[in-house]
Structure 1
Amino acid sequence: QSVRQGVGKTKITGRVLDNNGEPIIGASVLEYGTKNGTVTDIDGNYTLNVSKENATLSVSYIGFVPQQVKVSGGNSTIHLKEDAQNLNEVVVVGYGTMKKADLTGAVSSVNGTEIASRPVTDATQSLQGLVPGLLVSNDSSGRPGSSGTLTLRGQGNLSGTGHPYVLVDGIEMSLSDVNPNDIENISVLKDAAACAIYGARAAYGVILVTTKRGKEGKSRINYQGTVGWNSPTVLPKMLNSVDFARMWNDGCKNANSSRLYSDEKIKLLEQYINDPSSVNPWQELSSTASMNPAFENSESGIGNVDYFDLHYKDTSFKQRHNLSVSGGGKAAQYYTSAGYYKEDGLLRYANIDFERINVSTNLTSQLTPWLKLKAGLKFAHSVQNTPFGDGGLSDGFFHSLARFRPTVSVVDPNGHFTELSMIPYLQSGTYTKTKRDFINMTGGFEINPFKGFNVFMDYTYKIIGTHYSALNVAPMIYAADGVSTSKGVRQELGVTADGKFTRYNDNTHYQTINLYGTYNFSINQAHNTTVMAGYQEENNKYDYLRNVITGLYSTTNPNVGMGTGDKVVTDTRNSWATRSFFARVNYDYKSRYLLELNGRYDGSSRFAKDHRWGFFPSVSV
């Protein structure tokens, strides 16, 4: 729709959709012939102020045919058609590859070069804006090592846990364990027709990741390195101490409260802002007073503090380096890579960072004209340091940044940071450390006994181990005399007076066997058929052991066995196995009529007598 916005301006709103009616995120919408433009949001919506009512918009997005559309009231929804060249593109689908033109389901493809060029933490974040209908969100954005969550075509369920099923080279895996530089391409299967072959786990879509493999030819060495800086996108703008005091007084008068800043105090606050050295910010403090805390939630004290500016740095450094070697002859090809990523946190006084190492290698060997062997290894090791988390400081820290008054100095009379600044809590020795190791080993073969018929078999063993430790230490807060101290304990930060130590380990051991075959044949070059059938077996074992103890004997050498408080132990173990049969038939008549049938049976010991059947037919004309 269009709404007149005064002389010479018209506000146009609308949506940009693909040929399946899915919103396109990040599509470019420009007023034709100008630099006036915008991009669509997560729902494909756009808003643009144009120079005339019947404006022509130029709309474009990667993989779609650009369009120029004249927009008037009620004609603001724009459908982009997929580029015809993309229809001949071969994309990865469930257990194989197919041309887009031969698919009945909705499938989007992303090339690995688009992902590798983005300086982000992991491959999850790099998908932002590349796939219509795919939303990447990150509730922990800004914290080093935080990964995003993916949702396809909306939330999926009421609890917000409906995330796509991610497979890397056919193996269930987290995208955060994949080096973005190792990715060859990503296929996103969006609807039931495309996802049915994977059964119930594909209820919210499927993301198929194919990693790079060696190619015949001379050895190629490739290095890619990036360095950069993070900065806070938006921080709240806080009042200075004088404006705060005046607005506080207005609120008190409206509430008939007598808790007012005096005119004399406001003049001192103004003087402090102009020349901090000319005013004693602690002139109301007794020389023997405790400063634990000092002047919190009171009209005493003189200062001018922006807590966001105090705690947040303007920038934090990050770097990423990747080195790969590939090549081989006709008989065998190889690919090996190593990646390093390091990201510092934005908090000025906290020890907060994330570091990850990735190693990947694979080998393909054509032993005979009909037999090919494959082997691969993926390894990732990461360490995350932060004072926040289970057993450390709580997120109440961030709540307090906007809660404390700016009228109290954060440096005491002796030059120490005050308890109210919260800096002592960040420097007390409280920490959380997460070490995570991931290893994935795969071996298999491919048999081609005659033209059109291929048999694939692979075996994978995967280990994921996480070691977590957290130490909670109350800081010592100096009194006004600069000598005596007392422990700082602030409930909203989750600080324990006598110390607490938390440690847990969880381990996952997973193995799977895949065996499937495909047969392609054509009758009179008009009836083209592909038949696929296979078997999968999975076994998973998981164990979790958590120990927590309070009242530590020592905070310099903490131990879960040494403390005066209660010791809490949690021990969890479980295992499951599945055996699945699956099949698909694709029929194409002269590229005009498509028929696809998908079916899967899952028999699982995850729940007692758990049997799941799925069958999905789809037709495209």
Structure 2
Amino acid sequence: MKTQSYIIKLLLQFTPVCVLLLFTSLVHAQTKNIQGLVLDETEQPLTGATVYTSSKKASGITDIDGIFKLNGVKAGDTLIVSYVSYHPFKQVIKNSDNFLRIKLLPDEGLLDEVVIVGYGQQKKASVVGAIAQISTKELTQSPVSNVSNALAGRLPGMITVQRSGEPGSDMANMYIRGISTFGSNKSPLILVDGVDRDIRMMDVSEIESISILKDASATAVYGVRGANGVVLVTTKRGKIGKPSITFSADVGMQSPTSMPDMVDSYNMAILTNEALMNDGLNPKYTQEQINGFKNGTNEFLYPNINWADECLKDFALMQQYNLGISGGTEKVKYFVSANV
């Protein structure tokens, strides 16, 4: 009887551990690693296609050969494959799926869209030049006040570099397919409704679409001025119908990513003298001045102030409000926008 009771106690002691190990093995058994090949309509591999599961726990992109690998995929998840100008592909993962061969079909509807070109408008299907376009819907997704910054990462072939965060001087330098000419003017030609002007003070909400012309066949009509590419900005127009009122408000906080750590006045004086003496020059500060910085005997003669802490805030409030009114009849159309 004692032996039987001892065995029962051991079983009760190790039963939770066994159950936990069994549960863990079942969880791991439900996940799997899958591979696949993504092709276009001509059976050619698609590079850079986005592949992910509906649970967003596994994601990846196809390599140069159109191959993708996903880890930790569960049976029953929906696999989604997307690529620009192609219909997204969806398929439920089964236990037997280890390698998938996926073929994407082009989105024919995109070929009927109108594209702004240098000499008017054309359908995408008839455009032979390298042209990319973005609408106001994508532009307003970026919480920035400058149009050039809203284009960052939105158009293929365009590079934007913001060199300053100073208010009024935060416009980004734009380059289309790199730098194509020598000299100081390496920026593309910017035309707003056919007029050469700066887009720095334009509001994103008053823009209908932005097109960039990238190659010689697309920019030929502009001659040498289009050597660095052309940016065509089309503003909004009034539409026939009752007055339509739109209002948008953006509020955010802005703070520096990092601030340099500055030395105090005492160390500044010592390091300045050391640098001058290394160059064979006389020191700038006397020992009396160095002691004054160290002891702080006279804050007017020997100040020790961190002007960054005194003059700058830890964060700044950003606000932008826009009110737009549009409408019109068959004879008169209007669009009015106010931005603060």
Q: What TM-score do the two structures reach when normalised by structure 1?
A: 0.35
Q: Is the 8 A contact 1:221 1:325 kept in 2?
A: yes
Relative distance call for 1:196 and 1:281 in structure 2 (3 A) is: same
Query: What residue in structure 1 maps to residue 177 of structure 2?
Result: 153
Relative distance call for 1:250 and 1:109 in structure 2 (3 A) is: same
Deviations 1:520-573 (CA, angstroms, capped at 9, x unpaired): xxxxxxxxxxxxxxxxxxxxxxxxxxxxxxxxxxxxxxxxxxxxxxxxxxxxxx
1:337 aligns with 2:336: yes
Distance in 2, matches of 1:92 and 1:102, equals 12
Deviations 1:342-364 (CA, angstroms, capped at 9, x unpaired): xxxxxxxxxxxxxxxxxxxxxxx
Query: What residue in structure 2 maps to residue 216 of structure 1?
Result: 240
1:207 aligns with 2:231: yes
Query: What residue in structure 1 maps to residue 214 of structure 2?
Result: 190
1:100 aligns with 2:99: no
Q: Secondary structure at the match of 2:219?
A: helix
Distance in 1, matches of 2:82 and 2:266, equals 50
Shift of 1:109: 0.7
Q: Which has the higher contact order (CA 8 A, sep 6+)?
A: 2
Deviations 1:136-187 (CA, angstroms, capped at 9, x unpaired): 3344531335533322111222224132222222333322353321111111
Give 1 or 2: higher strand fraction.
1
Deviations 1:18-59 (CA, angstroms, capped at 9, x unpaired): xxxxxx9xx9999x957999xxxxxxxxxxxxxxxx9869xx
Moved more, 303-312 or 94-103: 303-312
Q: Secondary structure at the match of 1:109?
A: strand
Q: Secondary structure at the match of 1:338?
A: strand
Relative distance call for 1:305 and 1:253 in structure 2 (3 A) is: same
Relative distance call for 1:262 and 1:134 in structure 2 (3 A) is: same
Relative distance call for 1:215 and 1:202 in structure 2 (3 A) is: same
- Select the residue among 223, 234, 239 that pairs with 2:263: 239
Relative distance call for 1:64 and 1:238 in structure 2 (3 A) is: farther
Deviations 1:266-315 (CA, angstroms, capped at 9, x unpaired): 6x75665xxxxxx4335xx6xxxxxxxxxxxxxxx3x4333444444434
Q: Secondary structure at the match of 1:105?
A: coil
Q: Which runs of 5+ in 2 are unaligned?
A: 1-47, 62-67, 72-80, 90-103
Matched AA of 1:155: I
Deviations 1:48-82 (CA, angstroms, capped at 9, x unpaired): xxxxxx9869xx99947799xxxxxxxxxxxxx99
Q: Is the 8 A contact 1:320 1:339 kept in 2?
A: no
Q: Is the 8 A contact 1:91 1:97 kept in 2?
A: yes
Relative distance call for 1:100 and 1:119 in structure 2 (3 A) is: same
Q: Secondary structure at the match of 1:154?
A: coil
Matched AA of 1:187: S
Q: What TM-score do the two structures reach when normalised by structure 2?
A: 0.59
1:306 aligns with 2:330: no
Q: Is the 8 A contact 1:217 1:328 kept in 2?
A: yes
Query: What residue in structure 2 maps to residue 132 of structure 1?
Result: 156
Distance in 1, matches of 2:337 and 2:324, equals 6
Q: Secondary structure at the match of 2:218?
A: helix
Deviations 1:438-469 (CA, angstroms, capped at 9, x unpaired): xxxxxxxxxxxxxxxxxxxxxxxxxxxxxxxx
Query: What residue in structure 2 maps to residue 280 of structure 1?
Result: 298
Q: RMSD of the alignment, in Å?
A: 4.4
Distance in 2, matches of 1:180 and 1:150, equals 17
Relative distance call for 1:313 and 1:204 in structure 2 (3 A) is: same
Q: Is the 8 A contact 2:142 2:150 kept in 1?
A: yes
Distance in 2, matches of 1:171 and 1:152, equals 19
Query: What residue in structure 2 maps to residue 321 of structure 1?
Result: 321
1:164 aligns with 2:182: no
Matched AA of 1:340: N
Equivalent pairs counted in the alignment come to 258
Distance in 1, matches of 2:276 and 2:293, equals 19
Distance in 1, matches of 2:272 and 2:69, equals 49
Distance in 1, matches of 2:105 and 2:168, equals 37
Relative distance call for 1:249 and 1:64 in structure 2 (3 A) is: farther
Shift of 1:334: 2.4
Who wins on radius of gyration, i.e. which is larger? Answer: 2
Q: Which runs of 5+ in 1 are unaligned?
A: 1-23, 38-53, 68-80, 273-278, 286-300, 342-621
Q: Is the 8 A contact 2:203 2:339 kept in 1?
A: no
Query: What residue in structure 2 maps to residue 110 of structure 1?
Result: 134
